[in-house]
Amino acid sequence: MNIILCHTTADFDALGAAVGLTHLHPGSRLVITGGCHPTVKQFLALHRDEFAIIERRSVNPKQIHSIFIVDVQTRSRLGKTAQWLDLPHLSEIIIYDHHCETQTDIRATQTYIEAVGATTTLITEKLQTIQNKPTPILTPAEATIMALGIHADTGSLTFDHTTPRDAAALAWLMQQGANLHAIAEYIQPGLSPQLQDLLKIALENIQRSTVRNYQIGSILLHTDEYVPGLSTLASSLIDLTEIDALLLAHTHSLKDTTEKSLTIIGRSRIPETNLSELLQPLGGGGHLRAAAVTLRDSNPETTLEKLVDQLKNQIPQPPTARDLMSSPVRTIPPETSIEEAHRILLRYGHSGLSVVDSSRKLVGIISRRDIDIALHHGFPHAPVKGYMTPQLKTIYPETTLPEIEELMVTYDIGRLPVLENNRLVGIVTRTDVLRELHQQQRPQNEQLGCIPGETCKSIAELLQERLAPQLWQLLTCVAELAEKQGWQLYLIGGGVRDLLLSKFDETLLLTDIDLVVDGCHSESAEKAPAVELAKALQKIYPTARLEVHGQFQTAALLWHNDLVLDSLWIDIATARTEFYPYPAANPEVEASSIRQDLYRRDFTINALAARLTEPRAGELLDFFGGVSDLQGKQMRVLHANSFIEDPTRIYRAVRFAVRLGFEIEGKTEEYIRYAINSGVYHRQNIGKAEKNRRVPALETRLKSELKYILQANYWKPALGLLGSLGALRCLHPTMELDRKLWQQVCLMDRCLQRFDAQKSLSHWQMRLEVLIAYLESDYRGLVGKNLQLPVDSVKRLEQLELAKGKVMENLPECNTPSQVVWLLREYDLPMLILIAVQCERWVRRKVWQYLTQWGNIKPILNGNDLKAMGYKPGREFKLMLDDLLAATLDGVMSDRSDAERFLARYYPHALGNRE
C-alpha cells in the first residue's frame, strides 16, 4: 500500500496536491491526518467519495510500502501518522513541498521542493508530462480541488511568492475541467455569524504599535469552544485595519480537560518578515507572510507578547542615506560655464551637478534640464551660478529612506545632497530611491537567488553551504577585517553568478574571486582601502603574493599551488566608476559607491553583489534583474552604448552565452550588430588627428578574450556565434567567417590533433593565426602586431604568402619523396599547417604525407656509423647523409648492406680520407 500524507488541518493546497499525486502514483491512498480547514471540510462533504481518501484507523502500518508527503516537511505537523515514518520496511519516503525556507526533520529518500506559489503547481507540472492524449486525465472534481489549491495559496495569483509556473498550471487545470463557479464559491467564503462577532471584538480591542514606519497589530480572543475559520478572520482583519502585520491569538477549552488550546495565526505584508521562521520553534509553520501554530497549556498573554517582540525584531532598520548615496560627488565651482558643465554631464552620465564655492561649501545644484534651457537660449559661456538652484533641501547620512521619500515627494526634488559636518559626502537621487524600493518589493524567492528546481536559500546560506570551506573561511576573515575599519565588503560578479547557478550537492571551488570595498567616504583621498585591506589579509595569509595597482585603486593576492588554497587569485578593489574617453580606449576610473561600481559592469548576470559584512550580511544586490536573467538563461547588456565603448564585451557575451548555455537577449544582439556595423572599430576610419591614439580594446584586451574563447573546449560554437554576429570584423573590417574560412579552421583543428597531440604548440594561437591568415597578405602582419602576438607568430603571418607561393610553384616538379622532403623541411610545423589549410587538396596530401611519413624517415646510416666505417668528418659528411636519406626515401636502398654499397659506388674517393 502506498500512502499520501498532508499536514494536520489540511488546506486546499495540501489536498489538491495529494489528489493529483494519486495519478502520479496509481493505487495510492490519501490519509487526512488531523482535520481540515472549514471550507475544505465543506468541499469534501460534497465530493469526498470522488477521491481516494481513507481514514487513518483503517490503515495497517505493516502493509505500507511507500509514503508520499505533500505541503509539509516537519514530523510535528503530521500528527499521529508521523510514527509511520519510522517503519523499518518502508521502501521510500518522498516529499513534495514549496516551503523552501523550512528546515525538514524527515529523513526522506527523495524531495521535490521548489520555490513556486503552491505545492499543487509541482504536481500539476508532473501530470502534464504524463498526458499522452488530448482527453483530460483528471475528473472535474479533481481539477477543481487542485485549482482551489493554487488559488488559495497564491491569493488567486496575487501573493508575492506567485510565479508564472502557477499561472500556467491553473490554465492547464481549466482545460482539465476545473469548475470556476465552485472555485469562486470556496475561495472567497463569507464570515460565519460567530466569526463576525469575533471580528467586532477584534476591531475594538486590537493592539497597535509602530516599528520603523510599519504598523504591527495583535489581538487575543477567547471562546469556550473551537472556532473554525480563524485564518479567514485574520485575513479580513488585516484588510479592514490596513495594518502591515498581524498576530491573531485565540484560546478555547479542550473537552474533558482543564487545558486550553492556543492558536496563533500570523499575516504580514512586510517584505523582510518571515512568519514561518517565527513560529517554527513552537512547532508551527507556513509561508513567509502567512503561518500558524497551535499550542497546549501555555500562557496566552506571555506567548503572544513574546512573539510580537520577535516579529518587531525581524523588521530591519530602513536604509539610510549612507546606504543609498553616490559618493564621491561630482562638483563644480559657480564660475563653471554652462558648456563645460554640459560636457561633464555627458562624460560621467550624470543628470545633475553639485555647485560648491572656494571653501567647498555647497551653494547650489544644477540639473541637466537647467543646462539644456541655458543652451537653448544661446548662453553656453554663461556661468552656472546664474542657472543653478540655490535653495537646497539637504539630508544627513542617517536620514532614513521613508524620510527621503517624503522630502522628494513633498518638494518635487530629484536629488538630495548628503552633508556630514557641513561637508558634502554624497548625493541621493530619485533613481537611487526607486532602485531600493524595487529591491525591497521583488518577490522573495527571486531576491534570495532561487533558481528553478533548487531549494531557495539566502546568499549567506549558499556561501556557507556550497563554497569550499577554505574559501568561506577566507571570506569570513577578510569581511571581519573590513568591519573593523567600518567598511562594507562585497563579493561581486562571477563569484555570485556561479554561486546562484551551483547545484545543491556541489562544492564550489572558485579560483578567481572579486571583492569590492565600499563605505570609505570619510577616508582621505590618499588612502586606498582596497590596498589596506589586501595588506592586512596578507599578514594572516603570508604565503600569498601581493600585487598593487595604484592607478585602478586595486590590489591582488595570489596563491600558487598552496596546500590549502591551491592556485587562487583574489582581486580587491575600491568601489569605483569609469568612463571611456573614446571608443575602445582603456577606461578612466574614479572612486565611487557600490551602486555605481555595479552600474559600470557589462552584463546583468555579472552585476550582482553579495554583502559579506554586517549589518545586512548576506544581502543580494541586484539592481538590473541579473537573477531574472539567470533564471531565463539570457545574456543582457546593461547599457546601449556598452559595445561601442568596449568591443571586447561582444566576445565576453559570446563566451558566457556558450559556456553557460544561455541565449543573447534580442535587444543586446541588436546593440552588438549596431556597434559592429557602425564602423567605429575600423581604425582606418579614425581621423588624422586621432590616428596615434591607442585602442587597447582592439589590441591586448581583444587578444585576451580571443585566448579565453579559442582555448576553451567550446571554442567551435563560440567562434561560430562570433561569425554569425559579424564580430570578427573587430579584428579587421574585411574578416567574415564564411564557409571557406570555417573549413580552414576545422582543418587546422584536425592538423593540431594529428601532429601535435602533446600540445607543444599554442593551439589557441594557431587557431587565431588561421583566422588572420585568411586576410589579404598585406593585412596579416599588421593585425598580428596590433594584437601583440609573439614575434615568431607575426613573422610567420608576414612570410606565409611567400612560403605558400614557393611550395605551390615547386611541389608539382617534385617527382620523388626526397624532393618533397627537401622542399618542405625548411618550414616548421606551424608554417606547414598554415600552408596546408590554405592550399588545394593535392598540396595538403603532399604536406600530410611529409608530416606523417617522409618527414619522420632517417637515413639507414648516421654520422657515427660513417665514422665507425672509417670516414673522416668533413664537408662531404652532410652530402653523404643527405644522399643516404634521399636513397632511403626513394626506395633505392633498404638495409645497411645497400647503404654501404651505395657509399662505395658514389663516394669511392671518400675512402681515401680514412684515418
- What number is the average pLDDT over the span 425-436? 84
Q: What is the pLDDT of residue 352?
A: 84
Write out pLDDT tens, residues 486-531: 888 999 989 999 998 888 777 888 889 999 998 665 444 446 788 8
Under the banding of pLDDT at 50, 70 and 90, the label for residue 449 is very low
DSSP letter string, 430-482 = HHHHHHHHHHHHS-HHHHTT--TTS----HHHHHHHHB-HHHHHHHHHHHHHH
Q: What is the pLDDT of residue 726?
A: 93
Q: What is the pLDDT of residue 221?
A: 94
CA 362 – CA 356 distance, rounded (Å): 4
Under the banding of pLDDT at 50, 70 and 90, the label for residue 538 is very high
- What number is the average pLDDT over the span 703-711? 94
Question: Which stretch of DSSP H or E encloses residue 5?
Answer: strand 2-6
Q: What is the pLDDT of residue 188?
A: 64
For residue 161, what is the DSSP state? T
- What number is the average pLDDT over the span 744-755? 93
Q: What is the pLDDT of residue 910?
A: 60
Question: Which stretch of DSSP H or E encloses residue 223?
Answer: none
For residue 676, what is the DSSP state? H
The percentage of residues in the chain with a pLDDT greater than 90, rounded to a whole number, is 44
pLDDT of 434 higher than 90: no
Q: Which residues of 190-208 are buried (b: 16+ CB within 10 A; e: fewer)?
A: eeeeebeebbeebeeebee
Q: What is the pLDDT of residue 444?
A: 43
Query: By C-alpha distance, which of 427, 520, 537 is closest to 477?
Result: 537
- What number is the average pLDDT over the span 796-816? 93
Write the CA distances from 439 to 117, 272, 432, 569, integer angstroms: 20, 11, 11, 31
Under the banding of pLDDT at 50, 70 and 90, the label for residue 689 is very low
Write out pLDDT tens, residues 133-184: 677 889 999 999 999 999 988 888 887 788 999 999 999 999 999 998 888 8
pLDDT of 448 higher than 50: no
pLDDT of 913 higher than 70: no
Residue 752 or residue 914, greater confidence: 752
Q: What is the pLDDT of residue 718?
A: 96
Which residue is associated with the grid cell 576545422? 746
Write out pLDDT tens, residues 543-600: 999 998 866 578 999 999 888 888 999 999 988 765 555 555 555 555 667 877 888 8
pLDDT of 537 higher than 90: yes
Q: How far is CA 82 from the centre of its chain?
A: 40
Rg (CA), the chain: 37
Which residue is associated with the grid cell 479580513? 236
Q: What is the pLDDT of residue 492?
A: 93
CA atoms within 13 A on the CB side of 462: 28
Residue 693 or residue 238, greater confidence: 238
Q: What is the pLDDT of residue 458?
A: 67
Under the banding of pLDDT at 50, 70 and 90, the label for residue 695 is low
Residue 233 or residue 439, greater confidence: 233
Under the banding of pLDDT at 50, 70 and 90, the label for residue 541 is very high
Q: What is the 3-state secondary structure (H, E, C) of 786-844?
A: HCCCCHHHHHHHHHHHHHHHHHHHHHHHCCCHHHHHHHHCCCCHHHHHHHHHHCCHHHH
In terms of average pLDDT, the best of 318-322, 499-503, 725-729 is 725-729
pLDDT of 446 higher than 50: no
Q: What is the pLDDT of residue 778?
A: 92
pLDDT of 453 higher than 60: no
Q: How many CB atoms lie within 10 A of CB 319?
A: 19
Write out pLDDT tens, residues 768-787: 999 999 999 999 999 999 99
Under the banding of pLDDT at 50, 70 and 90, the label for residue 452 is very low
The percentage of residues in the chain with a pLDDT greater than 70, rounded to a whole number, is 91
Q: What is the pLDDT of residue 189?
A: 62
Q: What is the pLDDT of residue 447?
A: 41
The answer to whether 839 and 808 are in contact (CB under 8 A) is: yes
User: For residue 641, what are the contacts with CB-CB under 8 A and spacing of at least 6?
Assistant: none
- What number is the average pLDDT over the span 856-883? 81
Q: What is the pLDDT of residue 442?
A: 54
Q: What is the pLDDT of residue 222?
A: 93
Q: What is the pLDDT of residue 197?
A: 86
pLDDT of 884 higher than 90: no
pLDDT of 25 higher than 80: yes
Residue 309 or residue 878, greater confidence: 309
pLDDT of 267 higher than 80: yes
Q: Which residues of 283-299 are buried (b: 16+ CB within 10 A; e: fewer)?
A: ebbbbbbbbbbbbeebe
Provide the mean pLDDT of the chain.
86
Write the CA distances from 767 to 366, 573, 639, 711, 746, integer angstroms: 54, 34, 32, 9, 9
DSSP letter string, 265-298 = EEEE--TT--HHHHHGGGT-EE-SSEEEEEEES-
CA 626 – CA 759 distance, rounded (Å): 38
Q: What is the pLDDT of residue 119?
A: 94
With 0.75 as the threshold, say if the pTM is over it.
Answer: no
